[in-house]
Chains A and B, each alone.
Chain A
Amino acid sequence: DGGITQSPKYLFRKEGQNVTLSCEQNLNHDAMYWYRQDPGQGLRLIYYSQIVNDFQKGDIAEGYSVSREKKESFPLTVTSAQKNPTAFYLCASRPDRGGTQYFGPGTRLTVL
């Protein structure tokens, strides 16, 4: 059963704590992306990775970090430096050929 999984679906953390969101894909896609979505708004790109062991900052990378040690996995860490971390986080992947991105189900992070 191929696809993109994100876990957990809901995540609660206290202010000042770092938290890591998981994104795994078994589609053999080369590129992976992290987006943030706030209520009533579109998607903003946080980080993306076109190949293992390489990643680039998106439009709103401050306060976030990523790693890409395996093709299948692209975890996102929301650090305490991110001022407004409460949001819906979406992971996506893209095959080597073509620009179409496929999305996971999302993780809703709430910082208390």
Chain B
Amino acid sequence: GEDVEQSLFLSVREGDSSVINCTYTDSSSTYLYWYKQEPGAGLQLLTYIFSNMDMKQDQRLTVLLNKKDKHLSLRIADTQTGDSAIYFCAELPMDSSYKLIFGSGTRLLVRP
């Protein structure tokens, strides 16, 4: 079945790198997404990667995709206190009628 799994919590020190991991099950997924949610707010699209790519970099964000292991990661360089939020991974299976499948989210806490 379709399922996206993420670890629940990650704590890092300000200035360090953060790595948030995600595993998905549908090998037909065409796009994989990372969204950020701050307290009481909606989801903000951070970045996405097409399934034929291995890596995508956008300023402090680096997305790595391992299709063989169905593993996706988001690395945030030089993590700041403003990065504290919940991060959701989502996949778009090919035959999903454009319905995204979301993970449960990883809460990132950045300690000063």
A residues contacting B by CB (< 8 A) are 4, 6, 31, 40-43, 45, 48, 50, 56, 58, 90, 92, 94, 98-106, 108
Cβ-neighbour of B40 out of A48, A92, A98, A108 (below 8 A)? A108
- Is B104 within 8 A of A99, CB to CB? no
| Interface residue from A4, A42, A106 paired with B102 (Cβ < 8 Å) | A42
> How far is B48's CA from A58's CA once the two chains are assembled, in angstroms?
23
Which positions in B face A, CB cutoff 8 Å?
30-31, 33, 35, 40-45, 48, 88, 92, 97-100, 102-105
Whether the pair B98, A90 counts as a contact (CB closer than 8 A) is no
Instruction: Give the top 7 A-B pairs by smallest Cβ distance, nearest first.
Output: A103-B42, A99-B92, A42-B104, A103-B43, A42-B102, A105-B42, A43-B102
Classify the secondary structure of A's interface with B: strand
Which A-chain residue is minimally distant from B98 (CB atoms)? A99
Q: Given A42-B88, A48-B99, check contact A106 B42 (CB 8 Å).
A: yes
A42 to B5, CA, bound (A): 10
Which residues in A have their C-beta under 8 angstroms from that of B88?
Answer: 42-43
**Closest residue on chain A to residue B92 by CB atoms:** A99
Chain A residues near B92: list those with CB within 8 A: 99
The docked-state distance in angstroms from the alpha carbon of A79 to that of B57 is 44
Min CB–CB distance B24 → chain A (angstroms): 13
| Further pairs besides A99-B30, A100-B33: 13, Cβ < 8 Å | A40-B104, A41-B105, A45-B99, A50-B97, A50-B98, A58-B99, A99-B98, A102-B45, A103-B44, A104-B42, A105-B41, A105-B42, A106-B40
